[in-house]
Each structure stands twice: as structure tokens, then as C-alpha cells.
Structure 1
Amino acid sequence: MAGYHNDKDQLLRRLRRVEGQIRGLQRMVDTDTYCIDTLTQVSAATKALQSVALQLLDSHLAHCVHDAIADGGAEADAKVAEATQAIARLMRA
């Protein structure tokens, strides 16, 4: 089971909100909204997605990585490496 299972409804609500922001951005571009206003909304959508990513990462660390470390062995090392790679990807974005 995914580590975010208990937060699934909240995550889905946040993602639907981001989806609405993206649709709003499409309308802004379609109606030739002023560049800076559109960029401001892009920034807001980006921050919203980053917030979702951080919540997912927190859940992953608190559940999947924590449980693997408690069990020990190669699985623990693999989960820590996987989390490190995910953090690196988030930082590059």
C-alpha cells in the first residue's frame, strides 16, 4: 500500500485544484492575457505541484523508508537510495 494512502483524498483535492489552475492557464493563453499575469499563474501552479510533491515525499519517508529501515537489510539501502534520487529530481525541477 502506498505511504500516502491515508492522505489520498486530500492529495486528490489538491491535484484537482492544480488541474483547475492549468485549465485557467490554457484560457489565459487562449485569450491573450498579459504575459506577466500568465507567468504569475504559472508560478502559482508550479508551487502547488511542488507542495504536492513534498507531501508525497514526506509520506514516502515516513512510511515506506521508515518501514524498510526498521526491517533492515538491502531493502533499507534501496529505499534510502530511491528517496535520495527522488529528492535530487525535485531539486532539479
Structure 2
Amino acid sequence: MQLPAEDVKPAITRLKRARGQLDAVIAALENEQDCHDIIPQLAAVAKAIDRAGYLVISTGMKKCYKDGHDVEDEHLEKMFLSLA
């Protein structure tokens, strides 16, 4: 199922912010900064990406329900577990 960009705009925004954070982490590693500064940033990037994934799945589920699409339970479970 295709999701309109407008429907997943919060996920897009979150991913763009995560991309900026990831660039900062890479720069910090290249500049040999202290790991105490890098690890929290890296954790924030990972969490932002995970949350974006859940937003996409949630949006898709809402769209399927609203439009009356038939989605197999195993398929939804597989999508959720792929983010675990």
C-alpha cells in the first residue's frame, strides 16, 4: 500500500532530524570526541528512527482500517517485529 507523503509527514520530519543528528555523530567520531558525548546522540538517532518506523506502520494501519483494506495479521506482525 502506498501512503501519501502528507500522511507520513511527521515521520519524514523525524527522519530528517535524525539524519542531522547522525551527521553530528559521524563528525564527532571523525573528530575523535569523547564517547560520553557521542553515545547519547547515537541513542537519540536510533530512537528517532524507530519512532519514525512505528509512525509509518501506524499510519498504514489507520489507512487500511479506514479504507477497508484486508491486511493479514501475519503481515502486520512481521512489520512490527522487523523494528524490534
TM-score interval, smaller chain: 0.7 to 0.9
- Alignment pair present for 1:53 and 2:53: yes
State the Cα distance separating 1:48 from its structure 2 match.
0.6
Q: Which amino acid aligns with 1:35?
A: C
What do residues 13-32 of structure 1 show as CA deviations (whole Å, max 9, x unaligned)? Answer: 22211110111011100111
Partner of 2:3: 3
Q: Which runs of 5+ in 1 are unaligned?
A: 70-75
Structure 1 residue 4: deviation in Å? 5.2
Letter in 1 for 2:28: M
Gaps of at least 5 residues in structure 2 are none
2:57 partner letter: L
TM-score (norm 1): 0.75
Q: Could you tell me the TM-score, scaled by structure 2's length?
A: 0.81
The letter of the residue matching 2:11 is: L
- Structure 1 or 2: more helix by fraction: 1
Aligned partners of 2:33 and 2:50: how far apart in 1? 25
How big is the shift at 1:2?
2.4
Alpha-carbon offset, residue 83 of structure 1? 1.1
2:69 corresponds to: 68
Match of 1:44 in 2: 44
Q: Which residue of 2 aligns with 1:13?
A: 13
Q: 2:20 matched to 1:27?
A: no
Conservation of the 8 A alpha-carbon contact between 2:21 and 2:45: yes
Secondary structure of the structure 1 residue equivalent to 2:33: coil
Q: Percent identity?
A: 18
How far apart are residue 11 of structure 1 and its match? Answer: 2.7
Q: How many residues matched?
A: 82
Higher RCO (CA 8 Å, separation ≥ 6 residues): 2
> How far, CA to CA, are the matches of 2:62 and 2:48 in structure 1?
21
